[in-house]
Amino acid sequence: MKGREDAWQVVTEFTKNPNLIKHMLAVEAAMRAYARELGQDEERWATVGLLHDFDWEIHPTLDEHPIKGAEKLRERGWEEEIIRTVLSHYPAGTGVQPAALVDFALAACDDITGLITATALVRPSKDIRDVRLKSVKKKWKDRSFAAGVNRQEVVKATDQFIAAAGPPLASWDLWRHIDFVLQAMQGIAAALELDGRLA
């Protein structure tokens, strides 16, 4: 089975934009943390999180991404199960609906990392470790802030993930999810360059 190192090779081969790489690292961290929380396969979940947008730079339109990326993964011998999860993060374009728990997790973690990153970058310290949930809540309400983050889709994806996860997340809501992703990202502040170096 291919794993995280193989995924990193694919990401660095096809992605040169450092911000896009950091986005994939953020999603990887959130997916790894959720796998641990839910007793799932950490390496598989982290690998999917890291890999999911690897082709966005070479296929920057939604009629190509991630469908053409999936073809490249097949050429390189990636498991169909991982490819299917990558395809499921854009069901409107791929026709592949989320079905497995890992699919729902990926959809729930993807866009929200962008809002959290943007929230960290507007802080004077530019350090994600200084960000608190209340700051993210405030930015969430300002629809012009990180306008590319579709709040409605984040809510829908989060609700679906919580429902799919069942009892372990039964008492969770959107804000508990966002705080969980925030903490996962805080754990890799240096890799995300959100450790104050940009201040």
pLDDT in tens, 147-167: 999 999 999 999 999 999 999
Is this structure's pTM higher than 0.85?
Answer: yes
Q: Which of 49, 45, 95, 87 is nearest to 66 (CA)?
A: 87
Residue 51 has pLDDT above 90, yes or no: yes
CATH code for the part of the protein at 4-186: 1.10.3210
- Counting other chains too, the contacts that 93-102 makes at CB distance below 8 Å and 24 or more residues apart are 93/62, 93/63, 93/65, 93/67, 94/66, 94/67, 94/70, 98/160, 98/164, 101/38, 101/40, 101/161, 101/164, 101/165, 102/31, 102/40, 102/44, 102/45, 102/48
Q: What does the pLDDT average to over 5-31?
A: 97
Per-domain boundaries in the chain:
4-186
At 149 the pLDDT is: 96
Residue type, 37: E
Q: What is the pLDDT of residue 1?
A: 80
62-109 pLDDT, tens digit each: 889 999 999 999 999 999 999 999 999 999 889 999 999 999 999 999
